[in-house]
């Protein structure tokens, strides 16, 4: 694929209505097929009639456009409804065949298109569920039958599934009479009402009830009072009991006194026993205390949850397999592609998603690709492209303003980016850009206004205050976007959460992800904003959205989310379950309908396959390991296996010299907790109940329970009925917290030598627990009080006499007394709980934290020592690597003594850490097994290969375009072996030449490094000699010249075997065939000979009289 990218958002279509007959086919005799297509009519008919010998007679075809001068288009649904409802034409169920002849159907079409015989709005459409919708209903009905009509069910169905109509059909088949629909977004009310009026109202006795402002004044919608009045005038009979479908927003529900709010409304919802509760957009606003409280106050038999991205619900295993219906984006697109029915393809209007993911911008490549300064203080640098950091602001201005300007310039100039040509900009006329902060969105809006390309776009700032649950703010943003699109040919909407779920802006054809959004649910909901169907007319021609696009600039995050989207919405592979083959198969299937185009190693945009989707995050991880000189925790796994392991494991680890992942991090890398810390099967630190009970008794004794009672109970007893009761409750809670602090937390903290911050954190946790329990009790009490007051006021208004008023007052006093008694009982139970359990809970919390800290400190110590081993890996690859080295054969490549000298442990000890093995318990003599597997084999092997490739890439030290060398990626070793930086070497050789002019032009001069560490000095001298003009004149043949230099002019001694191999492999790395020939490099410790006064004899022995 070329550098330029292909974006085709829209396709020209010609909407047509057509009718045909099949003379000679008995079962169609007298019937006419009436359909809709946006393609060639005759080709579409041919697709429907595969049987040989059928005579097709096209009765007529015409544009699907009203002929009243409005320019409005339509599809076949309104015309079909017109024939059925207005003209009473019989229709074969589930088909587009009508009992009418071609000529009459044409006449009726003309009347319909001219709007001469207008339909009444109250008249609706018949419907037939698609097979996947039918499956959802049947699965739910089967579950209900097995559970006596009770329980809960999840429809995990992507947007555009048709959840409203399908849910209505389920309600009808259940014969449910009382149905409540609750959604987190009131704006969704319109879609529920539209489908009700279109498909349900005209053919059932259901009524749509809502007091929602968003539905006020809509035809066919009744308020609760209107519904009650209707019931009075339409008495129900046993054969005709009207059903009610009520709609309410979650915000409205939570505002009611009957559901934990402050307003006297929606009592009727709390009073009714609902047959069905439908929670729409169930991934939003759920799992919060207020929401849970509200739903807990709805009496119902059955709950249906509707969500397109229920990642949390599936990961938590809340629903069993028989409680979930799945319909994914891949299911939808596969159905679109494989549609065979003669009826219109219902998926045809749903665009295909495409993702373009870009690796680190070339703007920042020079900052991010090189290895860290492993000998300096650069510290911890995140390898990922941190978009939140990139767009960070201070005082309203971008911190990285120049880079962002370059980024925007690249978007509009470089061919592989989405706005680089006028043609691409036309395909992406309206897009949504997502950022992390409101300030970032505001700063970007200003910058776009001043950009030479983007200044031609209307910039809509839909950021608000960045909160997802501000529905009013979302509605305002929605109106601004729609108005901008209406008035401007190109728009960019900048959002910080608004308009990313439950909102339809059909004109958006692309989404740019400019934040570190990690939630798969939020990410995919945002991506689907571009996938909404869209048709429009331009210059008299009709266009339909065929493709929608997501552009992302964080490939590691993107591809992980893609994996999660492919697998985590399927129960068998959610939360990391399923085999790698199954997960890869799911990705393959999704890629068929959601291609991912990313940059290859050459920067070309190519379509990624399933293997690459899974491997690219791995590649980025191994690049990070290499960049850190293998001193990365990515290399290790199963660290918790070491706890309870044999003493030999600790002995092995103690032999390794600690190395910290972050350069400036200090610590002693203790391993003291290996034998002391106990962990559970998940690797979490655990403390036995015996220890907690014993320490509680030692610290507090039995008297603590009496002391707590005497300190807390008086405050609880002071809670009395009256206007100050809530203040009394709060005061009692404050006393509880104060007593906990003084009598339990303080002595426990002192006994355990907790730091002030730890004590404050413990106090805060205990306070939150008390506040949560007491506030829940108070909220329930206030709810009952508010309900009693509201009902009292209503009773007084309705009272016809003094006796009625007295009865209302008595009822009110009784309700208030009951509420107070229930609250008092709950407060007393919580008081008893504090007295009996908090001392032990505090001790357990402290001991648990101590154990967890000891575990973490020990694990850090283990990792420090394992990094002490892993930092030797680059040296081994330099010395012994051949492109085949791996974790499995790592110990086979080196001599035993070299391995021990470099790492500090033997090969057998390494194998025990890597593979585990059997050992004899020193106390019992019992044979036991240590699992080992402390190294992550995938990351280890990927990183070794990455380093090997980097070594090969940098092997030719004659290439002056390389501004780095392989030693940038090798950290200091335990022997303090530090490789002299390349810049320092160059400077020293420069000084040598300055003091000895012409030295590199003399073929008889010899140069020696008698204590080589890397070979850098030798290679720099070789380069100077090789590139010298006089040497070129004397040895015009390049091979002859390099042989002369290596065999006659340069000499070196290396103190150890591994350094000898590192240096010689580096010196001859550009052509290792030369290393097989005669050379002047030997292994000998010159420092030791110099100390003994015998260095001169060593040089003469190794090199004779060759060195002058």
Contacting residues for 229 by C-beta, under 8 A, at least 6 apart: none
Query: What mean pLDDT do residues 430-436 have?
Result: 95
Q: Would you say residue 108 lies in a domain?
A: yes
User: Tens digits of per-residue pLDDT, 465-509?
Assistant: 434 344 556 667 888 999 999 999 999 999 998 888 767 899 999
Domain CATH number, residue 472? 3.40.50.300
Q: What is the model's pLDDT at position 979?
A: 79
Q: What is the model's pLDDT at position 469?
A: 43
Query: What mean pLDDT do residues 405-419 have?
Result: 91
Q: Are 32 and 21 in contact (CB under 8 A)?
A: yes
Beta bridge partners of 1083: 1054
Q: What is the model's pLDDT at position 370?
A: 44
Q: Which of 832, 857, 882 is where one domain is finished?
A: 857
Residues 430 and 522 in one domain: yes
Query: What mean pLDDT do residues 674-701 have?
Result: 86
Q: Would you say residue 806 lies in a domain?
A: yes
| 182: pLDDT strictly greater than 90 | yes
User: Tens digits of per-residue pLDDT, 367-386?
Assistant: 444 444 444 433 333 333 57
Q: Would you say residue 654 lies in a domain?
A: no
Q: What is the model's pLDDT at position 879?
A: 93
Q: What are phi and psi of 876, to 5 degrees?
A: -65, -40
For the chain, the domain total comes to: 5
More confident residue, 662 or 794: 794
Percent of the chain with pLDDT over 90: 56
Q: In the numeric block, which tokens belong to residue 909?
A: 């000890």
Residues 420 and 543 in one domain: yes
Cα–Cα distances (Å) from 196 to 245, 747, 752, 944, 1079, in that order, read: 9, 65, 65, 62, 89
User: Tens digits of per-residue pLDDT, 61-79?
Assistant: 999 999 988 889 999 989 9
Q: What is the model's pLDDT at position 425?
A: 95
Q: What is the model's pLDDT at position 637?
A: 86
| 596: pLDDT strictly greater than 50 | yes
Distance CA 513, CA 518 (A): 11
Q: What is the model's pLDDT at position 974?
A: 65
Q: What are phi and psi of 82, to 5 degrees?
A: -60, -45
Q: Would you say residue 672 lies in a domain?
A: no
Distance CA 7, CA 657 (A): 55
Residues 421 and 565 in one domain: yes
Residues 287 and 360 in one domain: no
User: Tens digits of per-residue pLDDT, 1021-1061?
Assistant: 999 999 999 999 999 999 999 999 999 999 999 999 999 99
Q: Where are the alpha helices (DSSP H) in 359-501?
A: 365-368, 387-390, 401-413, 422-427, 438-449, 471-487
Q: In the numeric block, which tokens belong to residue 522?
A: 């939020």
Confidence of residue 122 (pLDDT cuts 50, 70, 90): very low
Q: Are 940 and 914 in contact (CB under 8 A)?
A: no
More confident residue, 233 or 144: 144
Percent of the chain with pLDDT over 70: 91
Q: What is the model's pLDDT at position 673?
A: 64
Average pLDDT in the chain: 87
Q: 436: which DSSP letter? A: S
Beta bridge partners of 433: 494, 512
Q: Would you say residue 79 lies in a domain?
A: yes
More confident residue, 582 or 847: 847
Q: What are phi and psi of 63, to 5 degrees?
A: -65, 140
Q: Would you say residue 222 lies in a domain?
A: yes
Q: Are 77 and 126 in contact (CB under 8 A)?
A: no
Q: Are 282 and 313 in contact (CB under 8 A)?
A: yes
Residues 178 and 297 in one domain: yes
Q: Would you say residue 28 lies in a domain?
A: yes
Q: Please compute, for residue 1054, the number of CA atoms within 13 A of its CA located in the half-sphere on the CB side.
A: 24
Q: What is the model's pLDDT at position 312?
A: 53
Query: What mean pLDDT do residues 160-174 have?
Result: 93
Confidence of residue 219 (pLDDT cuts 50, 70, 90): confident
Residues 164 and 64 in one domain: no
Beta bridge partners of 62: 17
Q: What is the model's pLDDT at position 662?
A: 53
Q: Which of 857, 884, 919 is where one domain is finished?
A: 857
Residues 792 and 722 in one domain: yes
| 780: pLDDT strictly greater than 70 | yes
Residues 177 and 110 in one domain: no
Residues 171 and 55 in one domain: no
Contacting residues for 255 by C-beta, under 8 A, at least 6 apart: 261, 262, 263, 265
Q: Which of 815, 835, 857 is where one domain is finished?
A: 857
Residue whose tokens read 């009592």: 267
Lowest mean pLDDT among 28-42, 665-679, 738-752: 665-679
Lowest mean pLDDT among 309-313, 936-940, 991-995: 309-313
Confidence of residue 443 (pLDDT cuts 50, 70, 90): very high
Residues 466 and 606 in one domain: yes
Query: What mean pLDDT do residues 187-215 have?
Result: 88
Torsion, CA 622, CA 627, CA 628, CA 632, rounded to 10:
-10
Lowest mean pLDDT among 12-26, 251-265, 650-664, 1078-1092: 650-664
| 614: pLDDT strictly greater than 50 | yes
Distance CA 1003, CA 1035 (A): 9
Q: In the numeric block, which tokens belong to residue 696?
A: 């509680």
Q: Would you say residue 659 lies in a domain?
A: no
Confidence of residue 671 (pLDDT cuts 50, 70, 90): confident
Report which of 19, 8, 36, 13 is spatially closest to residue 345, judged by C-alpha positions.
Answer: 36
More confident residue, 215 or 884: 884
User: Tens digits of per-residue pLDDT, 516-541?
Assistant: 887 777 888 888 889 889 999 888 89
Residues 513 and 438 in one domain: yes
| 828: pLDDT strictly greater than 80 | yes
Give me the sheet containing 541-545, strands edge to edge.
Answer: 10-13, 541-545, 535-538
Residues 773 and 845 in one domain: yes
Q: What is the model's pLDDT at position 368?
A: 40
Q: What is the model's pLDDT at position 747?
A: 94
Q: Please compute, for residue 650, the number of CA atoms within 13 A of its CA located in the half-sphere on the CB side.
A: 15
Q: Characterize 1065-1100 residue by residue with b for buried, 16 or more Cβ atoms within 10 angstroms of its Cβ, and e for exposed.
A: bbbbbeeeebeeeebbbbbbebeebeeeeebeebbe
| 1016: pLDDT strictly greater than 70 | yes
Distance CA 869, CA 974 (A): 9
Confidence of residue 53 (pLDDT cuts 50, 70, 90): low
Print the domain residue range for 1013: 954-1103
Domain CATH number, residue 217? 3.40.50.10810
Q: Are 136 and 310 in contact (CB under 8 A)?
A: no
């Amino acid at each position: 694929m070329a550098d330029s990218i292909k974006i085709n958002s829209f396709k020209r279509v010609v909407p047509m209505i057509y009718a045909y007959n099949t003379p000679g086919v008995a079962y169609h005799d007298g019937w006419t097929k009436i359909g809709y297509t946006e393609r060639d009519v005759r080709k579409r008919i041919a697709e429907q009639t595969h049987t040989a010998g059928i005579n097709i007679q096209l009765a007529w075809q015409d544009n699907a456009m009203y002929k009243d001068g409005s320019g409005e288009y339509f599809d076949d649904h309104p015309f079909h409804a017109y024939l059925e409802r207005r003209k009473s034409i019989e229709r074969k169920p589930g088909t587009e065949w009508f009992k009418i002849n071609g000529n009459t159907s044409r006449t009726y079409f003309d009347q319909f298109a001219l709007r001469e015989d207008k339909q009444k709005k109250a008249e609706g459409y018949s419907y037939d569920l698609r097979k996947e919708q039918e499956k959802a209903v049947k699965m739910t009905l089967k579950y209900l039958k097995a559970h006596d009509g009770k329980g809960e069910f999840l429809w995990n169905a992507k947007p555009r599934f048709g959840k409203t109509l399908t849910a209505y059909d389920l309600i009808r088949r259940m014969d449910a009479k009382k149905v409540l629909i609750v959604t987190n977004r009131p704006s969704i009310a319109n879609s529920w009402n539209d489908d009700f009026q279109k498909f349900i109202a005209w053919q059932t006795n259901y009524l749509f009830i809502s007091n929602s402002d968003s539905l006020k004044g809509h035809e066919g919608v009744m308020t609760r009072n209107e519904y009650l009045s209707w019931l009075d005038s339409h008495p129900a009979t046993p054969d005709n009991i009207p059903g009610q479908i009520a709609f309410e927003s979650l915000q409205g529900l939570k505002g009611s006194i009957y559901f934990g709010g402050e307003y006297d409304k929606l009592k009727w919802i709390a009073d009714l026993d609902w047959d069905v509760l439908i929670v729409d957009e169930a991934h939003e606003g759920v799992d919060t205390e207020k929401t849970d409280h509200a739903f807990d106050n709805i009496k119902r038999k059955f709950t249906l949850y509707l969500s397109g991205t229920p990642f949390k619900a599936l990961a938590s295993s809340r629903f069993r397999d028989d409680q979930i219906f799945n319909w994914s984006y891949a299911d939808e697109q596969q159905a679109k592609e494989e549609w065979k029915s003669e009826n219109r393809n219902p998926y045809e209007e749903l665009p295909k998603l495409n993702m373009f993911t870009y690796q680190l911008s070339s703007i920042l490549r020079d900052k991010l690709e090189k290895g860290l300064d492993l000998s300096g203080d650069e510290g911890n640098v995140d390898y990922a492209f941190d978009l939140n950091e990139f767009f960070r602001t201070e005082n309203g201005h971008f911190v990285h303003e120049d880079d962002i300007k370059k980024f925007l310039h690249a978007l509009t100039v470089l061919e592989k980016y989405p706005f680089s040509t006028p043609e691409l900009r036309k395909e992406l006329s309206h897009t949504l850009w997502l950022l992390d902060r409101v300030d970032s969105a505001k700063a970007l809006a200003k910058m776009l206004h001043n950009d030479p390309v983007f200044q031609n776009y209307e910039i809509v700032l839909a950021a608000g205050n960045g909160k997802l649950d501000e529905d009013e703010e979302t509605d305002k943003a929605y109106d601004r976007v729609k108005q901008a699109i209406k008035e401007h040919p190109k728009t960019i909407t900048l959002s910080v959460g608004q308009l990313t779920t439950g909102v339809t802006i059909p004109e958006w054809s692309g989404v740019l992800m400019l934040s570190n959004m990690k939630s798969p649910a939020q990410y995919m909901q945002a991506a689907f904003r571009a996938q909404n169907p869209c048709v429009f007319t331009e210059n008299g021609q009709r266009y339909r959205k065929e493709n929608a696009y997501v552009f992302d600039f964080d490939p590691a995050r993107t591809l992980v989310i893609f994996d999660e989207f492919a697998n985590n919405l399927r129960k068998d592979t959610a939360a990391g379950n399923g085999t790698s083959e199954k997960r890869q198969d799911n990705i393959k299937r999704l890629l068929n309908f959601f291609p991912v185009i990313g940059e290859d190693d050459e920067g070309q945009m190519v379509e990624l396959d399933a293997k690459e989707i899974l491997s690219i995050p791995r590649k980025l991880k191994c690049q990070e390991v290499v960049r850190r000189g293998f001193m990365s925790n990515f290399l290790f796994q199963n660290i918790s296996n070491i706890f309870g392991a044999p003493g030999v494991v600790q002995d092995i680890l103690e032999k390794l010299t600690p190395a910290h992942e972050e350069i400036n991090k200090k610590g002693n890398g203790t391993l003291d907790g290996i034998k002391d810390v106990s962990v559970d099967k998940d690797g979490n630190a655990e403390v036995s109940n015996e220890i907690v009970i014993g320490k509680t008794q030692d610290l507090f004794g039995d008297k603590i329970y009496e002391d707590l009672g005497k300190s807390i109970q008086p405050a609880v007893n002071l809670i009395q009925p009256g206007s100050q009761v809530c203040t009394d409750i709060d005061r009692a809670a404050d006393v509880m917290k104060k007593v906990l602090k003084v009598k339990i937390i303080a002595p426990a903290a002192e006994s355990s030598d907790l730091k002030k911050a730890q004590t404050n954190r413990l106090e805060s946790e205990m306070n939150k627990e008390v506040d949560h329990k007491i506030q829940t009790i108070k909220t329930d009490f206030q709810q009952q009080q508010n309900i009693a007051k509201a009902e009292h006021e209503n009773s007084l208004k309705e009272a016809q006499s003094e006796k009625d008023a007295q009865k209302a007052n008595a009822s009110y006093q009784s309700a208030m007394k009951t509420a107070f008694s229930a609250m008092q009982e709950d407060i007393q139970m919580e008081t008893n709980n504090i007295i009996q359990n908090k001392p032990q809970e505090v001790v357990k919390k402290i001991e648990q934290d101590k154990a967890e800290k000891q575990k973490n400190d020990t694990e850090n110590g283990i990792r420090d020592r394992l990094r002490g081993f892993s930092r030797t890996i680059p040296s081994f690859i330099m010395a012994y690597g051949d492109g085949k080295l791996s974790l499995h054969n790592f110990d086979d490549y080196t001599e035993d003594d070299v391995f021990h000298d470099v790492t500090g442990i033997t090969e057998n000890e390494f194998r025990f850490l890597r593979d585990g093995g059997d050992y004899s318990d020193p106390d019992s003599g019992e044979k036991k097994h240590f699992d080992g597997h402390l190294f992550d084999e995938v990351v280890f092997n990927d990183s070794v290969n990455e380093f090997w490739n980097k070594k090969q890439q940098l092997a030719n030290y004659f290439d002056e375009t390389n501004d780095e060398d392989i030693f940038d990626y090798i950290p200091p070793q335990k022997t303090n072996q530090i490789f002299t930086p390349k810049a320092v070497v160059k400077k020293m050789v420069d000084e040598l030449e300055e003091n000895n002019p012409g030295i590199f032009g003399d073929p008889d001069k010899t140069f020696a490094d008698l204590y080589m560490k890397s070979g850098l000095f030798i290679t720099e001298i070789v380069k100077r000699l090789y590139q010298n003009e006089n040497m070129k004149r004397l040895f015009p043949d390049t091979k002859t010249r390099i042989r002369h230099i290596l065999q006659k002019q340069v000499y070196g001694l290396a103190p150890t075997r591994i350094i000898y191999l590192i240096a010689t492999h580096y010196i001859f790395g550009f052509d290792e065939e030369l290393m097989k020939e005669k050379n002047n490099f030997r292994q000998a410790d010159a420092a030791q000979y110099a100390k003994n006064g015998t260095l001169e004899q060593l040089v003469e022995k190794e090199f004779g009289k060759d060195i002058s």
